[in-house]
Structure 1
Amino acid sequence: MRFIALLIAIVCFAATVLASAAQADDSQPDDGQSDASVASSAANPPSSNPNPTTLLDPLLPPTSGTVRLPTTKANTLGFTLHIELAKQPSSGSVPVNIIARSTSTFAADRRLTIRFRSDPDGQLPPTNGLLIDVPLLLPQGATSARVTRYLPKFSAGYQYQLAVYEQDRPLEDCVAKIGAADTDFYSHEQHLNWLLITDSDVVDFAALPDLRPLIYQDPQFAASSFRGTIGAPRDDPRFYESVFSNGPHGVAGQSELPTDWRGYQHYDLIIVDPSAVKAAIQNGKYQAIEQWVLNGGSIALYDSASEQSFVDTLELTAERPKSLVLNFITPESMFNENIRRPVDESWNQKIWLRPLGAGIAFGLRKLDDEEFPSGRQWWVVEHTLGHRVSPMLRRGVDPILGDRRFGRWLIPGVAQPPVYTFMGLLALFVILVGPVAYRSTAKRGRTYLMFLIAPVLAIVTTALMFTYGILSDGFGTSARIRQLTWVDGVSGNAGERVQSTYFAGLRPTEGLSFAGDAEVMRYSDGSAGSWEELTERSPAILGNIRLESDQQVFDSAFLPSRQQRQFIVHQPREQIGTLSIEAEKLDPLAPSATITNRFGFALRQCIIRDSDGDYWFADHVPGDSEKVHCIAITRAKSSKLIGDLYNQFRPMEEDLYRSPQRNYRRTTRDLIITISEQIKHQSMSQTDVLSGSFEHWLNQRMQLEGEIPHDHFVAVSDVSSDVVLVSGTELVDSVRYVFGTLK
């Protein structure tokens, strides 16, 4: 009897285990399963997991299909991987989600590396390939692990070759392709791509407002058969599902919003109403949106009851900058190309503008007779954005081809031939071989020794030139850094652009370490060739990148010995601080004011313009909330100080990388200029923005206009230590501009 009871217990236990395994296997999503189910299961890990890992961050639509590894049905690895990435045709940051699930529980810690290799058949140019490693820890006792990372990409297209490694050993049946060979980045860079965010957790297409006035602004829909034949959105929600399934526009609910600002980078404009903003603030998703705008994005708030409501909802500067006005033509040109006249004052009661860091915020008044802003209002928004519809122009860097503007921020005196020293050594060689050696041997009747002396002196001279060339640049690492920090005085947050050039006498073995939440772009000198030439060349890998939670490590291949290499970084700065001024103007002949610096670091040559338009100056402002008296200055004096402050660290063109003028017709050698000219033609703008929104503000305000807007300030400071990528680096001619709105 005991034997029979034991046998029954064993059978019951086995049945329970098999049922649990079958249930766990059924819960694994297949390749064709919806992305929402994967994200939902990732956001709600099993309660039996004793070591919960970081929750998965949602990917904004559109996304690629999910790849499942191993690729065979027979699974001997003890886990499955589900990998999904966002569609990103242009260069930039590609969000990727990785989910690992155990067939039972992980018996011990396992450390995997998921490797993404640029597919030369799916990314152009093939010379810009990258190897990107994403570490993934499978903790002992857990049933799942998940991670979200942002893959740097310096090419067009988003197709990768996948492989999985454990202890540097490739795992069997874990090789696949993910993404698509979509290299049409021109349309993505030249047209407005927007994202509508709803206040609901997930999108209900039947409840969307009538988006046709916005959709028809896009040229690909304006002349389509959809126009005039589509019913109201609640009558035919399938239309919106088809429109948003593959981009370039998107809609997202609150549960679908990422918490990393880079998740919004392939969009140009975020559209929200007050209820959506309130929901995002409550669930903690608004912070990433604000960081994205501070770094150059744009946001539009519709259904705003008033200008004050618009300011309060987005927590913007209360006073409208006097210089920020609507300066475009009326949208009547949409309907009649012969009607083009300046905007009248009534538009300032329909649309409000505010700067928010390097980005811009729009407020669209709620109209009584319309459910959604009209096509005319959206026309005004799009044509006000100008260069901001292009991520490449917003950043001011093209990592695909590069350009000659690379030479504006080089380290002077390194990686350049010491011409005058070489000329002196050659002159000494000529003198020694000629008058000295020849006359000396001739006097002794041994001129045949010249056949020995001349080669020896030539070898010595060459060795001296080579040695001097090496020693003059040294063996350490030097850098020239231009750090631009744009501060929002209301929140105390900032967006930042860092342009850094590095030179290493000996390549650093540890590589380059960037912040984990930074978007990193390499900046080349544009000498590699045109777009048409590079697409025909053999595949090549630029280097290896390792993405961890708090850092991005670029290996030493990105900084070879004795070459200048340049990088552009955009990153958020949370709670960096504020600057405020308290002015006393009771006596017009002796106005006084005090400045309070809450940045935690000192400012130099601080120029402030208050809400009345008056200028103040302080040569040195210590940090840590210390108050300092400043002096009132005239408009003429402020203009000179502002211009001098910019010219003191003005990016200047170097001659090192210039080449003879040639006819480059029929080839594309500068993508930024090409895209800028196209956008200028579309938006009827006359402004070239070739160095990004941050640099454009400095150049426009400080050099061309010689004044800053009301309630703004600008100052310089020392470069922060956390943007220096290599330990022991010597900084040369570096600067940090700190500017923005007052508290």
Structure 2
Amino acid sequence: QVPAPTVTKTIELPEGASKTDAVLLVPQFSPWNQLEVRILEDGFELKEMRFNGSISNLYSNQWSESVPSMLFIDPDAPTLAVRERQFGVANGAFVQQFNANQNATPTEPTLPDVRGIVATFSYNYGNVSVSDLRLKPVDDDTTLRYITHVQQLEMLPPSELADDWLAYTCFDLIFISYQDLVTLANSSPSKVKALRQWVQTGPTMVVYGAGEQFERLAEIEKLLALSPLTGDQSDSELRGWRQPTNGDRSKAFKAPRWNQNASGQWIYQNGQQVWINNDGEKPVANTPDTLHDRRPISGNLPPFVVRQAGFGNVVAMSEPYPFPGAIQNWQWMLTTLGDSSWKWYQRHGLSMNRSNTHYWNWLVPGVGLPPVVSFLVLISIFVVVIGPVNYFVLGRMRRLYLLLVTVPLGAGVVTACLFLFALFTDGLGVKGRVRSVTLLDQPNRQAVTSSRQTYYAAIAPSRGLTFPDEAAVYPLELYPHSISRSDYGRREIVWDREQNLRSGFIRSRTQNQFFLLHPHESQAALRVKQPAKGGKKLLVENQLGTKLLHLVVTDLQGVSHYGQNIESETSTSLDSIDQQTLINTLRPVLREASPANPQYFDVNRYENAYSISRPWYYSQRKSTDSDQPAPTEVTSVLETRLRELSSQNYQLAPRHYLAITELSPEVAIGVSRVRERSSFHVIIGRY
């Protein structure tokens, strides 16, 4: 399996100070439960301060990437230290105690009763029975015991929240009340900023207590620094937030199950998940199409409304205390959000457990290939010259004994030529291929970038890859758990002011892929001057830092204007364009840039050959989430946003723009000098 990483951080202890606090984030690329801490001073280890121990991360073969990890924020929750000290009993004893306590007479609870949302999933959270909600309410002690010993659930008070959004990347859903969000914003703005950055990268935040008539939506937008929605404002009370539909409520909710045996397979047809079995095709609900005609429910307001927040979603619930809630309402919310919002592997378009066969469709073209033609030419010349020509010349010279010298010498020359040809073809530097979407909020000077990056290095960089410390970096491995230490060596991360993947992440002459999510501040902008009264042209100034191959800008009335090949730091005017012409112009560009497997490469044949050579991997790892569709880039936040652009009904909101760029300064690249090949960058901005 993938070796656990060694993470290093430099901590400065001020002169005269006896202690200091520091947070060290350790990526969980693979299951690990051993921790070793070494402290060095001036390069020398303080052996008396070395710590070795085990970490109870509850990882097992039952860990599912399709069941959401959830965080509940509540001021009445005890700190982690208090909870572990009070409820740190053996897991087996706890399970029996929890199931027995459900029949006991509880004290008045103050913490959220999480059984409602947990029982929505047939997945067995911690081997604890929570499906029968007709039982009496549980008290706080039982709830805390449950959360302490259950995988993928956590409950924290606001004081325990992290200031770094990367600490939340393991969660798919976060629940917080409106009042707690207000208090947190006043007392700890950095924690709210971290939550805001987290939700911008694709997951979902649920804010309950938004008011009976959702009168607090404006305040929620302000607290999370969300730009006002400029779409359909026919219902001004909801400020453009999307209402759930009766169609979503009546859809059958398919709860993920671990290791469910089923005869069939998942496939993707036109971006939709379809289960094929012996009985024929059975369509399965996929991420809702936000562009589809969605009729809201009639009568009273729904229990929740939804809006996009960057790549993620914010759900506002009217109830001040929605727990435990009805399973049907939780299923309604999850169906409205769509699977890729709360399934980690779908949202990221990769798996840390299962095969990522889409690895093959985003390779750096033209590198790492065997020089077949040059080999045939050189070997043909070698055979002719070293054979009859060499024999004839030496025979005329009466020096046939020199064949013992000329033959190996000629073979060495041909081998050197092949080596030099491959060296000059691939070069000594790093080549890359990047596919990215950047959401740019100019008024707030905020941006969030989702990118898929492939690197090919003839000689691996000595310092590895370096990314900003606020970027989430995920290696996209073809077979994650089949990699051994001998494949990459020790994985080492140096996490100081930057995130340096120093060793074990990139190999020479190998296509190395990564998926990045990067919320950050940005000064990039597209300056737009509205046309004079009666005018039809927009004047724009490109301050995005790169050439704009295609640019679409909407004015205050939502009319689209189009231009192309706009150099950086230049101004130009844009003519208006109708929607159909615009779609016909952009759709071929998007289609040509779509990921595709190399020509003549058969993924199925490769998979079959690999399953024969590595039977252990297939027998152990294919069982995890076996009832779920295979990992694919189709469901990722990156591809979902790009797929929307080619939709027949796609329409930019007023005061927005779409730019297909030559490069993207907003994308964090792991190497300072990299030559991009066949990259594709999109910037969607608000001015």
TM over 0.5: yes
1:22-101 correspondence to structure 2 within 5 Å:
none
1:240 and 2:147 matched? no
CA distance in 1, matches of 2:632, 2:13: 50
CA RMSD of the aligned region, Å? 4.2
2:294 counterpart of 1:346: no
Q: Does the CA-based 8 Å contact 1:387-1:676 persist in structure 2?
A: no
Distance 1:370 1:465 in 2: 69
**Aligned residue in 2 for 1:387:** 340
CA distance in 1, matches of 2:464, 2:435: 20
Matches of 2:253 and 2:437 in 1, distance apart? 38
In the alignment, does 2:256 pair up with 1:309? Answer: no
Q: 1:440 aligns with which of 393, 416, 441?
A: 393
Give the Cα–Cα distance (whole angstroms) in 2 for the partners of residues 708 and 676 of structure 1: 36
Secondary structure of the 1:349 match is: coil
**Equivalences for 1:369-384 in 2 at 5 Å?**
374-383=326-335, 384=337
- Shift in Å at residue 680 of structure 1? 5.8
Query: TM-score with structure 1 length normalisation?
Result: 0.69
Asked if structure 1 preserves the Cα contact closer than 8 Å seen for 2:118 and 2:130, the reply is no
- 1:272 equivalent to 2:217? Answer no
Say if 1:482 and 1:498, in contact at 8 Å, map to a contact too: yes
Pairing 1:552–2:504 present: no
Once the two structures are TM-superposed, the CA of residue 292 in structure 1 deviates from its matched residue by: 0.6
Judging changes above 3 Å, is the alpha-carbon distance between structure 1 residues 397 and 211 closer, same or farther for their aligned structure 2 residues?
Answer: closer
- Counting only pairs closer than 5 Å after superposition, residues 634-653 of structure 1 correspond to structure 2 as 634-647=578-591, 649-653=593-597
Deviates more, 1:318-327 or 1:138-147: 318-327
**2:148 matched to 1:249?**
no
Q: CA deviation at 1:462?
A: 1.6
Say whether 1:193 aligns with 2:69. Answer: yes
Which digits, 9 at most, give the CA deviation of each residue in 1:383-429, with x for residues without a partner?
23302223233222345666343333332222222221111111111
Partner of 2:552: 607
Q: Match of 1:146, SS?
A: coil
Q: State the secondary structure of the residue aligned to 2:339.
A: helix
Give 1:318's match in structure 2, choosing from 229, 233, 238. Answer: 229
Question: Paired residue for 2:508?
Answer: 561
- Contact persistence 1:401–1:670 (CA under 8 A): no
Distance 1:401 1:243, change over 3 A: closer
Mean CA deviation greater in 289-298 or 349-358: 349-358
Deviation at 1:295, TM superposition (A): 0.9
Aligned position for 2:198: 292
Separation in 1 of the partners of 2:677 and 2:621? 28
> Hey, what does 1:180 align to over in structure 2?
56
Q: Residue 289 of structure 1 aligns to a residue in which SS?
A: helix
Q: Secondary structure at the match of 1:346?
A: coil
Shift in Å, 1:156: 2.2
Q: 1:702 aligns with which of 636, 645, 666?
A: 645
Q: Which residue of 2 aligns with 1:486?
A: 439
Give the AA of the match of 2:69: N
Map of 2:88 onto structure 1: none
On the 8 A contact 1:199/1:279 being kept in 2, the answer is no
- Assess if the C-alpha contact under 8 Å between 1:642 and 1:703 holds in 2: yes
The 8 Å contact of residues 508 and 556 in structure 1, kept in 2 or not, is answered as no
Determine the structure 1 residue equivalent to 2:101: none
Amino acid at match of 2:514: F
SS for the counterpart of 1:128 is: coil
Assess if the C-alpha contact under 8 Å between 1:295 and 1:572 holds in 2: yes
Q: Which consecutive unaligned segments of at least 5 residues does structure 2 have? A: 84-107, 233-239, 255-283, 286-292
Q: Distance in 1 between matches of 2:331 and 2:490?
A: 43
CA contact under 8 A between 2:115 and 2:324: conserved in structure 1?
no
Report the CA distance between 1:171 and its aligned residue.
3.0
What is the deviation of 1:544? Answer: 4.4
Is residue 154 of structure 1 aligned with residue 101 of structure 2? no
Structure 1 pair 290/611, CA: closer, same or farther in 2 (3 Å)? farther
Contact 1:481 1:498 in 2 (8 A): yes
Give the number of aligned pairs.
595
In the alignment, residue 229 of structure 2 is paired with which amino acid?
Answer: A
Give the drift of 1:287: 0.8
Q: 1:664-717 deviations in whole A, cap 9, x for unaligned?
A: 498766999987874469xxxxx965462122211x223465835545532133
Distance 1:733 1:325, change over 3 A: farther
The range that moved more, 632-641 or 432-441, is: 432-441
Matched AA of 2:584: K
- Inter-partner Cα distance in structure 1 for 2:214 and 2:40: 55
CA distance in 2, matches of 1:600, 1:155: 38
- Matched with 2:414 is 461
Matched residue of 2:451: which SS?
Answer: strand
Aligned partner of residue 25 in structure 2, secondary structure:
strand
What secondary structure, in the 3-state scheme, does the structure 2 residue paired with 1:381 have? helix
TM-superposition CA deviations, 1:613-638 (whole Å, max 9, x none): 643223266788x9864222122211
- Once the two structures are TM-superposed, the CA of residue 261 in structure 1 deviates from its matched residue by 0.7
- Tell me if structure 2 keeps the 8 A contact 1:398–1:671: no
Following TM superposition, by how much is the alpha carbon of 1:380 offset from its aligned partner in structure 2, in angstroms?
1.4
**Of 220-229 and 283-292, the range deviating more from structure 2:** 220-229
- Determine if contact 1:488/1:494 at 8 Å carries over to the other structure: yes
State the distance in 2 between where 1:399 and 1:223 align.
Answer: 25
* d(CA) in 2 for partners of 1:524, 1:372: 39
Q: State how 1:542-691 maps to structure 2 within 5 Å.
A: 542-576=489-523, 591-594=536-539, 603-608=548-553, 614-619=559-564, 629-647=573-591, 649-654=593-598, 660-661=605-606, 663=608, 664=611, 678-679=627-628, 690=634
Q: Check 1:560–1:657 CA distance in 2 against 1; reply closer, same or farther (3 A cut).
A: farther
The SS at the match of 2:297 is helix
Give the secondary structure class of the aligned counterpart of 2:490.
strand
Return the letter of the residue paired with 2:220. T
8 A contact 2:432–2:456 mirrored in 1: yes
Kindly name which structure, 1 or 2, has the bigger radius of gyration based on alpha carbons.
Answer: 1
Letter in 2 for 1:630: L
Do the aligned partners of 1:404 and 1:525 also contact (CA within 8 Å) in 2?
yes
Shift of 1:451: 4.8
* Partner SS state of residue 727, structure 1: coil
* Amino acid paired to 2:677: V
Against the structure 1 CA distance between its residues 673 and 653, is the aligned structure 2 distance closer, same or farther, given a 3 Å change threshold?
A: farther
Q: Summarize deviations over 1:643-675 as a string: whole Å, max 9, x none.
A: 234245433323598674454498766999987
Q: Which 5+ residue runs of structure 1 have no aligned equivalent?
A: 1-124, 682-686
Q: Distance in 2 between matches of 1:210 and 1:509?
A: 51
Distance 1:645 1:198, change over 3 A: farther
Which letter maps to 2:10? P
